[in-house]
Amino acid sequence: MQSLNAALTRVVEQQDLYNEAYGLFQNHDLRPRALPVQPEIDKRISLSPELEYLYSHYGMVDAQAEGTLKMKSAAVEIGDAALFFFVAPEHLHRQQLGFRWIGLQEPYEESASWSPNHIVIANVNDDPVIVDTEAPNSPVYASFERGEPKPIADSLANFFNALAILIEASRLLAGEVKDEETYETKPEYLTEVGPKLEKVLGQEHTKHLFEYLSL
């Protein structure tokens, strides 16, 4: 798990640097735990070793959710381009509603078209980030506007490495990734992140990630 831990450490570092200068969310972060814990997970959800590591070693700090029925999550910003919400492990079941489970109340119906090994761990504008918990290294997929999920990283570690690249580059542009008038992604941002992402993810996965984030 060394590569995953290194990637998560880098994401937290870039998240904190960005939040200190430009962040819009306070006490709403991905945060390393002082000591590993046994995550509270719905028994119907099977975790991969990589997800088990993520949830046992990192927590989602969400001050606004404490003591409420709100789904606890960590907000990870990529400037003005995208906002990831990573759900806390105790709320993973709720994050699967509308994907794996369908219905208005318990008992929910299990979707015949959704694999139980596909776990939604986060979303951007309600579009899911999905981990395949059965495949080695926990590859990551994303679905845009309820379309067919497309691969964006061949491992959970590479997904977080890509996220760190995106956050760091947005910080270098003072959080202004999009043109204020056209709302197109600034060419200098794409020039900065494109080659780095392709080195980590590959060309096709990078293309899918750009599509998902509307970059």
Judge contact between 29 and 57, C-beta under 8 A. no
Each residue's pLDDT tens digit, 139-170: 999 998 778 899 999 999 999 999 999 999 99
pTM over 0.85: yes
pLDDT at 106 over 90: no
Judge contact between 124 and 213, C-beta under 8 A. yes
Band of residue 120 on the pLDDT scale cut at 50, 70, 90 = very high
pLDDT at 84 over 80: yes
Share of the chain above pLDDT 70, in %: 100
Output the 3-class SS for the chain: CHHHHHHHHHHHHHHHHHHHHCCCCCCCCEEECCCCCCCCCCCCCCCCHHHHHHHHHEEECCHHHCCCCCCCEEEEEECCCEEEEEECHHHHHHHCECCCEECCCCCCEECCCCCCCEEEEEEECCEEEEEECCCCCCCEEECCCCCCCEEEECCHHHHHHHHHHHHHHHHHCCCCCECCCCCCECHHHHHHHHHHHHHHHCHHHHHHHHHHHCC
Of residues 112 and 199, more confidently modeled:
199
Predicted local confidence at residue 45, as pLDDT: 94
The pairing of strands 82-87 and 30-32 is: unpaired
Predicted local confidence at residue 95, as pLDDT: 93
Domain ranges of the chain: 2-213
Mean pLDDT score of the chain: 93
Predicted local confidence at residue 144, as pLDDT: 86
Predicted local confidence at residue 102, as pLDDT: 86
Band of residue 121 on the pLDDT scale cut at 50, 70, 90 = very high
Judge contact between 52 and 206, C-beta under 8 A. no
Each residue's pLDDT tens digit, 129-140: 999 999 999 999
Predicted local confidence at residue 202, as pLDDT: 97
Predicted local confidence at residue 196, as pLDDT: 98
Tokens read off for 88:
């806390």
Average pLDDT value for residue range 13-26: 91
State the amino acid at position 96 in one-letter form: Q
Band of residue 108 on the pLDDT scale cut at 50, 70, 90 = confident
Each residue's pLDDT tens digit, 25-70: 888 999 999 999 999 899 999 999 999 999 999 999 888 887 787 8
Predicted local confidence at residue 130, as pLDDT: 97
183 to each of 24, 81, 165, 206, how far by Cα in Å?
Answer: 19, 9, 21, 20
Predicted local confidence at residue 145, as pLDDT: 78
Q: Residue 16 phi/psi, 5° resolution?
A: -65, -40
Predicted local confidence at residue 197, as pLDDT: 98
Judge contact between 213 and 78, C-beta under 8 A. yes
Predicted local confidence at residue 70, as pLDDT: 85
Give the CB-side neighbour count of residue 76, counting CA atoms within 13 A: 27
